Structure 1
Amino acid sequence: MLKPPIGILGGTFDPIHIGHLRPAIEAREALGLAEVRLLPNHIPPHRASPFCSSEQRLAMVRLAAAETPGFVVDERELGRDKPSYTIDTLVELRAELPDTPICFLMGMDSLLGLPNWHRWQELLDYAHLVVSARPGWQPDYPADVKALLGRHLSQDKQDLHRHRHGHIWLAGNLPVELSATGLRALLAEGRDPRYLLPASVADYIARHKLYQPTP
């Protein structure tokens, strides 16, 4: 018998904010996830090097998880000295959790760019994909993604409980229009980030003088 599914949310988290957390909270509630694991990465494969150190980003992720029921931190990707490819993490997790459905949480922008990911065709061999979609917004899917959805899209969230992997579920979450880039820009202007990220994370940023205004 399968155990309840868990959610996996990876990212640079530079810094972690409500755009990461709110869709993950809604996915946990909607799908009955046993937990959501936050996986900060050390070397992101698809973007520039993080602004803050791995230690600082991990500290902020720990603070956010402590404020969010059902959220835990998984540090495995921070120990790698090479880019953190999602497929490598999912292979590890599947070996550790053979009887647990794994739901990899991602944004619609990531789904649209999936053909650029390392070994992207194999992701559904190890996990389900749970995509934070914008209500009322119809994305223009690339041909490869459209074909993937045709084979794996599910309208029944129980599929994510009955199977270890192999389904895509589009979440009807509340849209959150916030990026780490935009948040860093706001902080660099000396503006108040209140309600855009957990209070403990905002306090940490202020205490350590991160993302400071340019002199």
Structure 2
Amino acid sequence: MSRPLRIGILGGTFDPVHIGHLRSALEVAELLELDEMRLVPCARPPHREAPNRSADHRLAMVRCAVGGQLPLRVDDRELRREKPSYTLDTLESLRAELGPEPKLYLLLGWDAFCGLPSWHRWLELLDHCHILVLQRPDADTELPEALRNLLAARSVADPRALSGSAGQIAFVWQTPLAVSATQIRQLLAAGRSVRFLVPDSVLAYINTHGLYRAPH
């Protein structure tokens, strides 16, 4: 009997996508032997300011970055939606397509995980997926009590031991790459190089379209 599909989901504004995003995605995909790791650019994130660049540019940069690197792939469903990018809607949409059997893994950085209680219908996320918290050694945000209670009930020590198609939480230790999209935008605005912070294909796209440069 074949095992259920295993699909990872990494959302973000990807403004621009950089090596931190891609390395996290690839490390988790290899650790859990995922069939797919979907990068999901969001249109209008409810919890932060609007992205710096258009949806079309951000989607194009993610496509450049992923190229043919399996099991990474791009999922543009949030950009096709006419309302804010609620993660629960995305998970419900994926479940409607894939059915109940596949194991879905939602990747969240530590800060995003700490802010989870402010998300839209956040407790329902685990009805549709497992949550993988990308933990770095420098994470120092304090967990709210609601999450401490949730972890006590739902956490699993080894992410490879998550059972069923949804409902549990595990932590994944990550290579600490201190790269941020904000830092990359600031460097570009100052006319400095971002080589090796983004894939060469993304850098070529940025240069071709003159993205993030300070106006002359």
1:111 aligned onto 2:94: no
Describe the SS at the equivalent of 1:155. Answer: coil
- 73 and 136 in structure 1: CA distance in 2 versus 1, 3 angstrom threshold: closer
* 1: CA distance, partners of 2:174 / 2:194: 23
Aligned residue in 2 for 1:209: 210
8 Å CA contact 1:43–1:81 kept in 2: the answer is no
Structural mapping, 1:15-164, within 5 Å: 15-66=16-67, 68-97=69-98, 98-135=100-137, 137=139, 139-160=141-162, 162-164=163-165
Matched positions, count: 214
* 1: CA distance, partners of 2:158 / 2:14: 30
Aligned residue in 2 for 1:179: 180
Describe the SS at the equivalent of 1:146. Answer: helix
- State the identity as a percent: 48
- Letter matched to residue 124 of structure 1: L
Give the 4+ runs in structure 1 shifted more than 4 A: 136-139
8 Å CA contact 1:6–1:35 kept in 2: the answer is yes
Deviation readout 1:90-114 (Å, 9 max, x if unpaired): 1111122221000001100101111
Over the aligned positions, Cα root-mean-square deviation in angstroms equals: 1.5
8 Å CA contact 1:2–1:99 kept in 2: the answer is no
1:168 aligned onto 2:169: yes
8 Å CA contact 1:15–1:180 kept in 2: the answer is yes
Structure 1 stretch displaced more, 2-11 or 195-204: 2-11
- 138 and 47 in structure 1: CA distance in 2 versus 1, 3 angstrom threshold: closer
Aligned residue in 1 for 2:191: 190
* 1: CA distance, partners of 2:164 / 2:141: 27
- 45 and 137 in structure 1: CA distance in 2 versus 1, 3 angstrom threshold: closer
Describe the SS at the equivalent of 1:76. Answer: coil
State TM-score, norm by structure 2.
Answer: 0.94
Describe the SS at the equivalent of 2:170. Answer: strand
8 Å CA contact 2:159–2:171 kept in 1: the answer is no
Describe the SS at the equivalent of 1:7. Answer: strand
